[in-house]
Structure 1
Amino acid sequence: MSKLATQINALGQFCGRRDLPELSQAALQQTYQLKQADVFVFFGGSIVGGVATLAQAIHAQVARHYVIVGGYGHTTAALIKSAQTHYPTIKFDTSSEAQIFAQILQAEYGLQVDFLETNSTNCGNNITNLLTLLTANQIKFNSLILCQDATMQLRMTAALRKYVAPSVKVINYAAYAATVNDQLTFDHPLPGMWSLDKYVSLLLGEISRLTDDHNGYGPAGKNFIAHVAVPATLQTAAAQLQQQFTTRSADPRFAGK
């Protein structure tokens, strides 16, 4: 495989972490000695194709409660356009990402989640609003599975770890797993998948945020997330990819207040 494709895939695998080999009670039992997690959380920053993973989770009964989290943030405009393209018969409530995914889940799979969080605008208040919702509904938890767009998955769990006790099991299961081939195309493109340039731009933005220095989001920087150790090999790969791709900057319109 070409060096470029290898570097992109390395960043994608790091950011789009999956702590389970599959979404099943058997995998949960084998990996975490759990029959079910207390809560499965799907985040609206995902591409529309990620809804299949949410449906899979519900069918597999991997959690006791299911939540979709997402208000209106930097990915929402793209989600609306993608949802309307792939599901033209659905009349979408475009006020929040959570509403959009709930409508797709109902229309395509006949499924519903227990709760929607519709006010958050960024990764940080995705988490704080989620925790507020769980508290308000008296949902106690010792384990959560978080499912976000693969580019943002690791940062989402790092954000949650900042707020919960170390004893809480925080399980990653990215909404999709993308691989790029030597032709710099996706091996198995999903509905609504980012263009390659956008995908790499998002990954580069994540490496910058996850790096725990004065520019990052960790304790040594903005202190938005728990510490994440980014391997030196990935730092090097990101630096080299930045010579050919742009890095997504934070959008101040959706910053926390």
Structure 2
Amino acid sequence: MQTDNITLSDINLLCEWLAWDELPTAGRFDADLIVLAGHAVVPAILGVMQLAATTGIPLLLTGGVGHSTILLKQALAENALTRSATFDQHSEAEIFFALATDFFGIPAERLYVENRSANCGQNAEFTREMIAGMGLKAEKIILSQDPLMQRRTRETFEFSWRQKSMTAEFVNWPVFVPRLVSVAGSTVITGAQSAGIWDTERFISMALGEMRRLQDDASGYGPKGAGFIGHVDIPLDVTAAWQRVTQTTLGNLSRA
């Protein structure tokens, strides 16, 4: 897929906003809990595992069987670190548990598994219920998801916490921020050490789809639409970039 420079710049602006990254890059970081929501971007998953292994912060894994479960197993089979292993577990959280214990040596007592959720809203709801039911300390939570879904996940978790008058400080960490670049006439995705995480068409479709869901209108997930999240203030430059991209031939991908 070839994309002109203006459109590349616009898509990259969307991706930078969607992949909301708040984790400090230097010094000690203290948190009570890391929450990893189910997805299939293996470099991001492994980055979270490494953080949990090196810091000792407890890790809550949330994800049942959803649309990304098959993609996750395929991606693990293709990754250089994990392709020698077989993952027979059904849920994404159980697959993550195997990764955490077998590849990163994280003790099972520092891991919590929520394996029922099938979407982002349930990730938040069932995680909240587990934290409350087990009495886990979770005043400050590092939250990680597929980079393109990071902002919506944060909005969903905050919305879920508000519904039950619970409070927590969420800190976004997508592990990396993906970008599109033009190389030798082709458009490729950069930002992680591993290639082949998304194909370009799916990547653009996901980014545009996330922008559509974050709108507070009849077709979005905000209060004026589905009501899955609260109102999201989208910067004017991000809105303008999204509108320009949707007016190109790529705009049809936003309905995916």
TM-score interval w.r.t. the shorter chain? 0.7 to 0.9
Q: Is the 8 A contact 1:42 1:67 kept in 2?
A: yes
Change (3 A) 1:119 1:166: closer
Q: 2:254 aligns with which of 227, 247, 251?
A: 247
Once the two structures are aligned, what percentage of the paired residues are identical?
A: 26
Q: Is the 8 A contact 1:25 1:60 kept in 2?
A: no
In the alignment of these two chains, the number of paired residues is 239
Question: What is the aligned partner in structure 1 of residue 22 from structure 2?
Answer: 19
Do structure 1's residue 238 and structure 2's residue 242 form an aligned pair? yes
Quote the Cα distance in structure 1 between the aligned partners of 2:198 and 2:123.
21
Q: 1:92 aligns with which of 82, 87, 94?
A: 87
Runs of 4 or more off by more than 4 Å in structure 1?
Answer: none
Do structure 1's residue 77 and structure 2's residue 82 form an aligned pair? no
Change (3 A) 1:189 1:170: closer
Moved more, 212-221 or 50-59: 50-59
Q: Is the 8 A contact 1:93 1:99 kept in 2?
A: no
Specify every segment of 5 or more residues in structure 2 that has no aligned partner in the other structure, as ranges: none
Quote the Cα distance in structure 2 between the aligned partners of 1:133 and 1:215.
31
RMSD of equivalent CA atoms: 2.2
Question: What is the aligned partner in structure 2 of residue 196 from structure 1?
Answer: 200
Aligned-pair distance for 1:50?
1.4
Do structure 1's residue 50 and structure 2's residue 69 form an aligned pair? no
Q: TM-score, normalised by structure 1?
A: 0.84
Secondary structure of the equivalent of 1:45? coil
Aligned-pair distance for 1:59?
3.6
Q: Is the 8 A contact 1:207 1:230 kept in 2?
A: no
Aligned-pair distance for 1:70?
0.8
The one-letter code sitting in structure 2 at the alignment partner of 1:217 is Y
Secondary structure of the equivalent of 1:181? strand
Quote the Cα distance in structure 1 between the aligned partners of 2:132 and 2:41.
28
Could you give the per-residue CA deviations for residues 27-86 of structure 1, whole angstroms, max 9, x where no partner exists?
Answer: x4xxxxxxx2121101111411112221232144273x2111111112222112111222
Change (3 A) 1:47 1:160: same
Aligned-pair distance for 1:248?
5.2
Aligned-pair distance for 1:232?
2.8
The one-letter code sitting in structure 2 at the alignment partner of 1:173 is W
Question: What is the aligned partner in structure 2 of residue 37 from structure 1?
Answer: 31
Quote the Cα distance in structure 1 between the aligned partners of 2:91 and 2:227.
27
Q: Is the 8 A contact 2:177 2:191 kept in 1?
A: no
Superposition pairs of residues 162-181 of structure 1, within 5 angstroms: 162-164=159-161, 165=165, 167-181=167-181
Quote the Cα distance in structure 2 between the aligned partners of 1:223 and 1:71.
23
Quote the Cα distance in structure 1 between the aligned partners of 2:192 and 2:52.
23
Secondary structure of the equivalent of 2:136? coil
Aligned-pair distance for 1:132?
1.2
Do structure 1's residue 220 and structure 2's residue 220 form an aligned pair? no
Do structure 1's residue 108 and structure 2's residue 103 form an aligned pair? yes
Question: What is the aligned partner in structure 1 of residue 55 from structure 2?
Answer: 61
Q: Is the 8 A contact 1:47 1:79 kept in 2?
A: yes
Could you give the per-residue CA deviations for residues 117-159 of structure 1, whole angstroms, max 9, x where no partner exists?
Answer: 1110000001001111112211132211101110100011101
The one-letter code sitting in structure 2 at the alignment partner of 1:247 is S
